[in-house]
Amino acid sequence: MSPYLSHRFHALDYWNGDRDNKKVPYYHGDPEMFFHSRLPMVKDIPIGDYATTHQCLVDGRERRKKGSPMKPQRIKPTWVNPRTERSVAIPGKYYTQRMDIIEKAIKCLPEGVMIDNPGWTDLQLLQRLKISSMDNAHYRCFGKRGNLVTQLNELPHPQPKRLTYSTISNVAACAKNHGGQVNCLIIYGSSGRPMEDWRCRPMPIDIYNLGKFLWERNHEYLTDLSRVCPPNSCQVNFYYSRFKGHIRKHRDNGIRAMNGVTRNMSTPNRENSQLHGTNVMTFTIGASMEFTLHAFKDDMSGKNNAGMYTDTYGLTTTLDDCSCFVLDPIDNETHMHSARFNQTEKFLVRAALNYRWCVNEKWFYGNNHPQASLRWAYANHIEMDKKEIQWKFLLEGRECNYSKVEWYRCMVENRCSNQYYFDN
């Protein structure tokens, strides 16, 4: 157990203002006004069963006026980052007292995606995932060399399958050939995928309510910007141990230079969305996984890349069912992080609900788009110039499901053997 668990500190002493590791402020002036100014398209619109950005901001303001509706409860983390005392892992006992909120959120997830039956073959599981309502994201097989682009949900790839939610900032009518309506949502970008392949859908009120509950419960560990309102974005990552599910070392939000400009982004800078100075709250459902922060280990070469983040002593913790990991924005800048299963069992499934505070509002198609490959997709006819589009086959409805012969030929040409999953 970390020696830092022997004491607790007051939140006001702990944060001492929202500044990055180089003491550059994340915002200027009032945090609420700053946050609101970054969301210019927000409208007060009745949506029914979905959360709106307007209501999210109202909920934040109401809490500041009335205080927390929950009884104060001293939270004791199971793990604190021993290097910075910032990021924390909080056990499920602080959340399971409200299983009604958790269970309602779980019911919003696509049916069957949390099940892996030992009697299924790999291909049978993939066929179930392929027809689920998870994000219809695509993957360039064999890396940058690959000519095959296929649906991630039909691959036994270790990277997680995804489902991306956002509060709704606005809605607008559009032509029937685009589905009749588009939603103004808050993006969370996808590394390695062109923008026309990004997906986002309105956040069900029960997914939002779980994020709001976590926001209330974890308030003392959040930065000033994260305290402005409940999180308005949630991306769910689904991991399957039979596919060696994991997420490799990465950062969520780049590195800030001394002037506050961000570099080392996994998405284009102009499409960055997570507000710098905000946390990430990751809520686990299902099997446990090990979460590791990777610290920089200087070899005096002057380099700073993923291969240099090899110092992990004391920086690994286990995320169990219904636990929550609160990632601090400074730890996100100074460390990289990864996750993998810590058991040897083959048929484990974990869903990680990653709640964030994002501010980049964009238009997305709805579920009524006549072309299946573009449902919940980035509204390219509004947001993109034709010259920016890389995967035109998505816009033309020409998704490819490759035959065994085609797949084998590509593997031979590229001297690769991974991603081969067809039954003999």
Q: What is the pLDDT of residue 220?
A: 94
Sign of CA dihedral 150, 156, 159, 164: positive
Q: What is the pLDDT of residue 262?
A: 56
Q: What percent of the chain has pLDDT over 90?
A: 59
Q: Is the pLDDT of residue 318 over 60?
A: yes
Q: What is the pLDDT of residue 273?
A: 79
Residue 81 corresponds to which tokens in the numbers above?
Answer: 């980052």
More confident residue, 236 or 395: 236
Banded model confidence at residue 259, pLDDT cuts 50, 70, 90: low
Q: What is the pLDDT of residue 138?
A: 86
Residue 332's contacts (CB-CB under 8 Å, 6 or more residues apart) are 251, 252, 253, 280
Domain locations along the chain = 3-414
CB 308 within 8 A of CB 297: yes
Q: What is the pLDDT of residue 14?
A: 35
Q: What is the pLDDT of residue 261?
A: 57
Q: Is the pLDDT of residue 191 over 90?
A: no
pLDDT, one tens digit per residue, over 5-23 is 333 333 333 333 588 888 8
pLDDT, one tens digit per residue, over 352-361 is 999 999 999 9
pLDDT, one tens digit per residue, over 38-56 is 999 999 998 889 999 999 9
CATH number of the domain located at residue range(s) 3-414 in this protein: 2.60.120.590
Mean pLDDT score of the chain: 85
DSSP secondary-structure letter at 357?
-
- Residue 255 has a CB neighbour count (10 Å cut-off) of 17
Rounded CA separation 126/226 (Å): 37
Banded model confidence at residue 391, pLDDT cuts 50, 70, 90: confident
Q: Which of 289, 237, 248 is nearest to 114 (CA)?
A: 237
Q: Is the pLDDT of residue 142 over 60?
A: no
Banded model confidence at residue 69, pLDDT cuts 50, 70, 90: confident
Q: What percent of the chain has pLDDT over 70?
A: 83
Q: Is the pLDDT of residue 395 over 50?
A: yes
Q: Is the pLDDT of residue 418 over 60?
A: no
Banded model confidence at residue 424, pLDDT cuts 50, 70, 90: very low
- CA torsion 112-118-120-125 (nearest 10°) is 40
Banded model confidence at residue 33, pLDDT cuts 50, 70, 90: very high
pLDDT, one tens digit per residue, over 72-114 is 678 899 999 999 999 999 999 999 999 999 999 999 999 999 9
pLDDT, one tens digit per residue, over 368-387 is 999 988 999 999 999 999 88
DSSP secondary-structure letter at 120?
S
CA 239 to chain centroid, in Å, comes to 13
Which of 185-199, 209-223, 295-309, 326-340 is predicted least confidently? 295-309
- Residue 396 has a CB neighbour count (10 Å cut-off) of 10
Q: Is the pLDDT of residue 275 over 50?
A: yes
Rounded CA separation 138/304 (Å): 29
The string of DSSP letters for 213-233 reads: HHHHHTGGGS-TTTTSSS--E
Q: Is the pLDDT of residue 149 over 80?
A: no
**Phi-psi map region of 408: left, alpha, beta (phi>0 left; psi -120 to 50 alpha):** alpha
Banded model confidence at residue 178, pLDDT cuts 50, 70, 90: very high
